[in-house]
Every structure is written in C-alpha cells, then in structure tokens.
A and B are shown apart, each in its own frame.
Chain A
Amino acid sequence: MDKELIQQIRDKARNLLKEGTVEGVIGYERASDDLTSRPLFAYSPSDTERLIFDETCAHNLVKYLLDKKGKKIAVVVKPCDSRAINLLLNEGQIERDNVFIIGVGCPGMVETNWNHKSETLQAKCRTCQLFKPVVYDFLAGGEIERQAEEETYSDITEEEAKSVATRREFWLEQFGRCIRCYACRQVCPGCYCPVCFAERLDPLWVGIRIAPEENDMWQTIRSFHLAGRCIGCNECERVCPVDIPLSLLNRKLEKDVKELFAFQAGLDPEEPPPFATFKKEEVMEFEK
C-alpha cells in the first residue's frame, strides 16, 4: 500500500468535506475480510480516515454518482473509471460542477474475491494504456509508470474464427448458468435506464423465465445497448457470481466499434457515442 498516496487522498477528502465543497466523498475502505476493499461513503471529516487505495480497489465508483444527483459529491477514480465520468457527462446524466474528481494513477488491479487476493493482474489492466485518469480535479500520487501490453483482441479474433454453430453452443452453455441476478447491469455505469428493457412487460423483450434462451436475449441486448458506450471497466464480469465471460461480448463490440467508427467511449466528454449520433455526411451507398 502506498502510504503517501493514501494520505493525499485522505487529506483531499477531509478538506473537501471540512470546507463544505462537497457533501460526501465516495472512495474505498478495507472490506470485512481485512484483505480486499469495498466502497466507502464518507460524509464527515473523521470518516476519511478509513479511505485506502491499493491493488484490490477494483470497484467502479462512478455509478454511485447517479444515486446522488443534485448533490455535490467527490469520487475517487482510476483511469478506467474516469472514462465513465466522460460517458455520463456526455449523456447528460451528471453535472460537471457537482462532481469533484479525485483521480488516482493506477498500478493495475489484481484479481480478487472475498478473502482471496491473487498476484495476477486483471486482464483489462494488462492492456490498459491510461496512466492517469482522463478527467480529474485533483490527481493523487501523480502519473504511474508501468508496462502495458497492446490490446490485440487476439482472444476475440480467435472466437470470430469459430463457426456460428460452435459459438452459439458456447454461449448457450454460458448463459445457461446465468441466474439473472442483474449484478452486471446494476454495477455498470452505462446501465441507468429508469425502467430496464428486461423489466418491461409491454413489449415483452425477455420476461421472467430464467432459462438459456431468455438469458441469451438479456445478455445480447444489454451488450448492444452498450455498444460504443462500454468503457471497459469490466465490472460486469468481476461481479458475476457464476463467472460468465462477459468481457468477450463487450470487447467484441468494442473492437467492432473501433474498426467501424474509430471510436472509443469515454475518452472525450464532448464526442457522443456513434449510436447516439446522426451525421448527414454519413451517406449509405446502395447498389442499384
């Protein structure tokens, strides 16, 4: 644990609360296993003593800003999390003036479960090219120097090479395990519809049956709703209690959007996602 970094976060949080700049600070604290971490909501200066930051702080805290609309809140963000802030700013879900962003340069998060901390870096971190958040008001600890592999999407191209029948069989087996806990949706900063399509009865997109075909519908439609919007925090895969490889789906769409539109979500607060944009210049040529 980088004590210097943590002290900077605590000091900043404490001052923000003391001066009344914010009503609350969302950061990380030690979890009940005394090993990993969990979100902390600090409302008074003394609460900030519990703030920590280390390689177990995987949670994307930006989602919580949507529960605190209208209030001035500070949030601790890693580079991947900060892309979610740009996404929500662009989509008009949060006001820039209401968020104080405590950015942290990130050494990469390791794979964790309750009471388990591995030495392995999460896959998303191995290929992460962001050494500091893309948007912040205060940078704790400065930019981090570290090695990053290039994202080649090799696992995606490997899947793409398989036949449709093989892929279908694979996904129906994976989705067969889905219990529709919706943790993937609830943790995702891009999923904030007041009434999710999966809850709608009219029209009935998915329904209440928890079975492979319905789960397939659920996962596929959710991925498409996130196409061009998913910022790659991979929280969905991390929280899944039955270990469905959701990153394969989301990164496949990320790759396609990159190739088709040369666009990656959350890097620029001004540029809207491709599927939310219509440009007159995009003319479709039809064969006569």
Chain B
Amino acid sequence: MNLFASKDDLIRWLGSLLKEHIVIAPVRVQEQTTFQPISRVEEVVFDFNNTALSPKGWFLPPTETLFSVQRDDGKVELVPTKVERDAVIFGLHPCDARGIALMDSPFLQEPSDALYRERRSRTALIGLACRQAQPECFCTSMGSAPDDPSNVDILLTEVEDDYIVQAVTEKGKALLPKGLAEYKGKVPAPPKLETVPTKEVISAMRELFNDPYWEQLADRCLHCNICAYVCPTCYCFDMRDYADKGKVERVRSWESCQSPGFSLTAGGYDPRTTKGERLRQRFYHKLFYFPEQFQDVACVGCGRCVRDCPVNIDIREVISNLKQVMEAKSGS
C-alpha cells in the first residue's frame, strides 16, 4: 500500500528521526551535493541529480579504525571499534542502494566483517526514486531501475512537491511516522534510459581478456583513483597500523587497483606492470570476477565514473567497444 507524505510531513519526520538516529542525507558543500550526517533538517538538499560521492562511505568509510592496541603493564589488549548509534540514510537513489547490496556479498560472506555487519543491520535506507535520468545514467542495463525498491527499506517518489511513500521492509514500516494517508493516485512512470549491451559482453569477457584493446584504452588512463572512489560498489581497501603518540590503531582505508603498488609484493614482484593490465583489472573485477564469485555485475549504472573520469574512460563506451571486438572476432 502506498502512503502520501507532504514535504512538510517529510521534514517533520526527518526531524523526529534525527532525535534517535544519525541521519545521513544529501547536503550542499561548496558547489557539490554529498552525503553527510546532518545536525539540522534544514541542511538536507531535496533537489539534486546525484551526489558527488556515493553513500557507500557510511558502511565502508574512506578511513576507519578497526581496533586499537592498548598496552597496560606489558599486557596487550585489542579493543575493537564499536558502532554507537542507529542510523538512517535518507535520499539515496536506487542505483546507490543496489551498490550497497552488492558490497554485502564480499563483506557479509563468512567470516563476515563485524563492523560492516553491525552498521548494516543498524542502518535503515530511505530511498528516493529518480524522476529524471541524467545523460550518464544507465541503471537499467545494470540490474536496477530508477524506481527499483529492492534494496531500500522505504522508497519515496516525488509527485509535484510531495511524496509517495512505499514501505518495502518491516524495518521501513517501523520507521514510518504515524498518520500518513493512503495514496491512491497514479505512481509516475520512471524515465527511460538508453541501454548498454551488458549481458552479451559479460558472457564473452573470458575471450576478450588478451585483446590489445586494453592497452590502447589504458593509454589515456591516469591511474588515479577517481573512478573507484566515486563508485557505489568498488570496495578494495588497504590496512595498516598507525602509531601516533603511543596510540596504535589498525586502520582500514580505501585503495583501488589503479594505485601504484597495489599488487606489488615486498620482494619486488608485481603481476601487473603495464597500464593495460592495471586498467583491465578494474573492468574485469566489476564485469567478470565479481559475477563469477557472487552472480552479480559489480556496476549499478550510476554514471559517476563517466561524469568524473578526467580523461573520459566511459564504461558504457567500453562495453559497446567490447561488443564490436567480440563481433569482429567471431567474424560476424
């Protein structure tokens, strides 16, 4: 059953959630909109395309302490970080919600990451369906849709200035404010998106591995980390100890397969030395290895990498190009 909430209802509701939860919502920071914990509902931006960074940083922060090492009279104790409060992520689009669901595969697979699991179970997701698609969007070719409710607890759809409220899970239902009327009107149709030949290409990835396409594409790649860091599903990380003024912490931070030294062993051996091998790793991880392991393509079609890559390496174009390479190979 769909419910109806006016903008005022929504603002009041957010205010009450803020009393008991950490609320992470889109806020304006300089010229950009990005997810941050809010202290007042007034900070929330309701009118945005998509945020600079995805909300994955709530579950896998750019940097976090896994545990600290305490030494008392020569005895060592490891103190793991605790999750303090329940949280709500408000305003994430279906693509970003799917990104989080995809990250569950590696992190919740046994033995599951305790911190991630705790945060995940104590965070509710209030999604916002997309009324408009951006030129870079292609979620429908990556297993999602602008109005996909699968991975959120509540899905909001804007209608004029107000919202249709759909409780998707029991957790979502429990969070809803009381007294919302039923919405009997039409649910607006989602925007149409161009398609990308994902399925065909993925089934041919094995044959395309040694194609010279990868070295050519990598010519212009800068091997920065932008694509991986803005991506809702990229999750590679680094771990090291930090010793600062007697305090020792095991820190986990984002890292990407494009970083120099990502696969470099201490002995000096690196299985990936060319630009093409490094760039190929990212595409294969997302489009081949992850599906082999977890039966899902690790891309949600949000288009942030397309928007932010300084040299315009466009994953949709890459997939279309691979289709052409595939067809040329099979002589069709």
A interface residues (Cβ-Cβ under 8 A, vs B): 31-33, 36, 38-41, 59, 63-64, 67, 113-115, 177, 179-183, 185-187, 195-196, 199, 201, 207-211, 238-239, 241-243
Task: Using CB atoms, name the residue of chain A closest to B222.
Answer: A186
Do B306 and A59 touch (CB < 8 A)? no
Residue from B223, B260, B310 in contact with A199 in the complex, judged by beta carbons closer than 8 Å:
B260
CA A67 – CA B309 in complex, angstroms? Answer: 19
Do B52 and A41 touch (CB < 8 A)? no
With known contacts A179-B229, A196-B260, A243-B30, A186–B220 Cβ distance under 8 A: no
Residue from A115, A179, A207 in contact with B240 in the complex, judged by beta carbons closer than 8 Å:
A207
Q: Does B112 contact A (CB under 8 A)?
A: no
User: What's the nearest-Cβ distance from chain B to residue A116, in Å?
Assistant: 9
User: What's the nearest-Cβ distance from chain B to residue A122, in Å?
Assistant: 14
CA A36 – CA B310 in complex, angstroms? Answer: 11
B interface residues (Cβ-Cβ under 8 A, vs A): 29-32, 52-53, 62-63, 135-136, 216, 219-220, 222-226, 229-230, 238, 240, 242, 251, 253-255, 259-261, 275, 306-312, 314, 316-317
Do B230 and A241 touch (CB < 8 A)? yes
Residue from B220, B225, B260, B261 in contact with A64 in the complex, judged by beta carbons closer than 8 Å:
B220
Do B220 and A239 touch (CB < 8 A)? no
CA A144 – CA B314 in complex, angstroms? Answer: 33
Report which residue of B238, B275, B312, B314 has the largest number of chain A beta carbons within 10 angstroms of its beta carbon: B312
On chain A, the residues within 8 Å of B136 by CB distance are 114-115
Task: Using CB atoms, name the residue of chain A closest to B249.
Answer: A209
Do A181 and B261 touch (CB < 8 A)? no
With known contacts A183-B224, A208-B253, A114–B311 Cβ distance under 8 A: no
Report which residue of A33, A183, A207, A211 has the largest number of chain B beta carbons within 10 angstroms of its beta carbon: A183
CA A196 – CA B223 in complex, angstroms? Answer: 14
CA A113 – CA B304 in complex, angstroms? Answer: 12
Task: Using CB atoms, name the residue of chain B closest to A174.
Answer: B30
Task: Using CB atoms, name the residue of chain B closest to A194.
Answer: B260
On chain A, the residues within 8 Å of B29 by CB distance are 177
On chain B, the residues within 8 Å of A207 by CB distance are 240, 242, 251
* Interface Cβ pair total, 8 Å cutoff: 107
With known contacts A114-B308, A181-B224, A207-B240, A32–B254 Cβ distance under 8 A: no
Query: Known contacts A59-B311, A187-B310; can you find 9 more A-B pairs with CB under 8 A?
Result: A36-B312, A59-B310, A114-B308, A187-B224, A208-B63, A209-B63, A211-B63, A239-B226, A241-B230
Do A186 and B63 touch (CB < 8 A)? no
CA A210 – CA B62 in complex, angstroms? Answer: 6
On chain B, the residues within 8 Å of A195 by CB distance are 260-261
CA A114 – CA B226 in complex, angstroms? Answer: 14
On chain A, the residues within 8 Å of B259 by CB distance are 182, 199
Do A209 and B253 touch (CB < 8 A)? yes
Do A41 and B63 touch (CB < 8 A)? no
Do B225 and A181 touch (CB < 8 A)? yes
On chain A, the residues within 8 Å of B260 by CB distance are 195-196, 199
On chain A, the residues within 8 Å of B62 by CB distance are 179-180, 210
On chain A, the residues within 8 Å of B312 by CB distance are 31-33, 36, 38, 114
CA A126 – CA B87 in complex, angstroms? Answer: 47
CA A186 – CA B218 in complex, angstroms? Answer: 14
On chain B, the residues within 8 Å of A114 by CB distance are 136, 306-309, 312
Task: Using CB atoms, name the residue of chain A closest to B134.
Answer: A115
User: What's the nearest-Cβ distance from chain A to residue B24, in Å?
Assistant: 16
Do B229 and A209 touch (CB < 8 A)? no
Residue from B238, B240, B310 in contact with A183 in the complex, judged by beta carbons closer than 8 Å:
B310
User: What's the nearest-Cβ distance from chain B to residue A160, in Å?
Assistant: 22
Task: Using CB atoms, name the residue of chain B closest to A40.
Answer: B220
Task: Using CB atoms, name the residue of chain A closest to B275.
Answer: A67
User: What's the nearest-Cβ distance from chain B to residue A25, in Å?
Assistant: 12
User: What's the nearest-Cβ distance from chain B to residue A36, in Å?
Assistant: 8
CA A183 – CA B223 in complex, angstroms? Answer: 8
Task: Using CB atoms, name the residue of chain B closest to A24.
Answer: B219
CA A55 – CA B186 in complex, angstroms? Answer: 46
With known contacts A41-B220, A181-B225, A199-B260, A239–B251 Cβ distance under 8 A: no
With known contacts A38-B220, A41-B219, A181–B229 Cβ distance under 8 A: yes
On chain B, the residues within 8 Å of A201 by CB distance are 240
With known contacts A31-B312, A114-B306, A242-B52, A181–B220 Cβ distance under 8 A: no
Residue from A64, A115, A187, A242 in contact with B135 in the complex, judged by beta carbons closer than 8 Å:
A115
CA A183 – CA B254 in complex, angstroms? Answer: 15
Do A180 and B275 touch (CB < 8 A)? no
